[in-house]
Each structure stands twice: as C-alpha cells, then as structure tokens.
Amino acid sequence: MDGAAVIADALGRINRVLHRAMDGVPAETLNKQPAPGSNSMAWLAWHLCRVQDHHISDLLDVPQLWVSDGWHEKFGMAKDESETGTGHTLEQVAALKVDSADLSLGYADAVFERAKQYLATVTPEGLDAEINEPQYTPLPTVGVRLVSVISDNTQHAGQVMYARGMVQGFGWMNV
C-alpha cells in the first residue's frame, strides 16, 4: 500500500461518512442551521467537496468539475472557481441551500471519483514533487497538499455527523 493508496482510502472513508450522514435525509434537514450562525450539513458537505475539487483539479492542472461539469449551476451559484466557501459571511452561509441530498452527494461522488482516478496515477516519487507556489517556504509538495485535503475534509465530515445529531437528536448513529 503506497502513499497514494492511503490517501484514496482516506477520501473513500470521507465519502462513506457523507453517505451515512446524508443519504435519504430531507433537504430541509440538510439546510437547517443547527444554531444561529452555524454551518448546516448542506454547507459543510458542499464546502469540503469544493476544497477537494479545487485542490485535485489544481494538481491535475484541469478545470474544476464545479465549472466544467456544471455543478455550480446545479447549486445555483456563479461560475467561479475561487468560490470554495472559505471566508463566507453569515449571510452567505445561510444562503447556501440544496434541493435534495442527491445534489450534495452527487457532487461528492463526482469529486471523489476523479480524485481516485488521479491517485491511481500518483507514484511515491510523485508525492515528493514540488508545487510552484513561491508564497510558501519551503515549497509544498503534492504529498503535503493531499495531507491537507485529508485533514480538512475529514474534520468537516465529522462536523456533518455532529450537525445531524443537533438537528435530528443525538444517538442517531447508534439506532
């Protein structure tokens, strides 16, 4: 099991957590902010997929699925690759709505599927390749970038699980 396979495994677990927390859950539950100003399940899932799509596309040097496959339209948002949710205001957080879990999970499956295809091509040496981002010293490597995606995405997946408990009652996992 090389490094790229470990990363693919971690992303697969994140995808399964999203399905477990969101499959068949009504849109109004997904869109509900569990507390004033807090991130909804829909916002959290969207944001983590945006981060994954952004970084994997960047490593592949191709347009993001967000714009190339029209996901921005399905979410009713602008065709803007820089829109990942980072720095959103309270109003922007509240404005993000999905019409069904299928939308959230459809985007999640699409970005994961492409990440898997990409990772199948990444060699151990490929993980050490430097990324040309001179604002960072030392330059980040492909491996470092992928580690950041796993850490970020797994944390947000955990937040989706917690938010579901808040809107639907704690202990839902053990039912």
Q: Which residues bind other proteins (CB under 8 A)?
A: 1-3, 6-7, 9-10, 13-14, 17, 34-35, 37-39, 90, 93, 124, 127-128, 141, 143-144, 147-148, 150-151, 154-159, 161-163, 165-166, 169-171, 174
Q: Least distance (Å) from other proteins to the CB of residue 78?
A: 22
Residue closer to other proteins, measured from CB, 77 or 150: 150
Residue closer to other proteins, measured from CB, 42 or 65: 42
- What one-character DSSP code corresponds to residue 23? T
Q: How far apart are CA 119 and CA 112, in angstroms?
A: 10
**C-beta of residue 142 within 8 angstroms of C-beta of residue 129:** yes
Q: Is residue 72 classed exposed, middle or buried when 0-12, 13-18 and 19+ CB atoms within 10 A define those classes?
A: buried
Residue closer to other proteins, measured from CB, 110 or 147: 147
Q: Least distance (Å) from other proteins to the CB of residue 66?
A: 22
Helix axes 101-119, 41-60, angle to 10 degrees: 30
